Homo-oligomer: A and B are copies of this chain.
């Protein structure tokens, strides 16, 4: 715990500002572990049940699916600094994962095992609330994506991404962004070109 102090402090602060009482947070102290990922390492893999909830100290992760016929990858979600990372669908339902979740750059996370999380749910209402908020966050994240596909053009979505996650562009190649937006590389190039001319 000594060497994780800075990271735990960060998590404490962030959860604190979301309403978590210090005493409740202390209950979780024995369970958070620090882990480093090299670029390309997996947080969770296809067919594996996602057992951990992670908190990204620093880094970027992506959830992607592989088309078994063509081998193509498509990105579902990105996670970056100070976000919770999990292969949501698998984590929340504790079922085999349809996706890969991978570090896109060298990354550091704090993580907790779902068994410990379930213990905490039983020990304190604060943590129950936390659990519900995690599910809600996942819901919200995905809802915003669906709304994007339904109500916006790829160009809109790209513009939004640049506004909301400008930092991701530093560490993630454009073809991954294109995939996330639901389009192909050349289309993103066209959009970018179109946008230069206003």
Contacts and interface: CB of A to CB of B under 8 A. Distances in A.
Q: What's the number of copies of this chain in the assembled complex?
A: 2
Contact of A93 (B67, B74, B140): B140
Interface stretch (A9-17, A33-41, A127-135, A170-178): A127-135
B150 A74 contact: yes
Interface residues of A, number: 28
Given A76-B150, A132-B135, A143 B140 contact: no
A150 B149 contact: yes
| Chain A residues touching B, majority SS | helix
Contacts of A135: 132, 135-136, 139
Contacts of A31: none
Interface of A: 65, 67, 74, 76, 88-89, 92-93, 121-122, 125, 128, 131-132, 135-136, 138-140, 142-143, 145-147, 149-151, 182
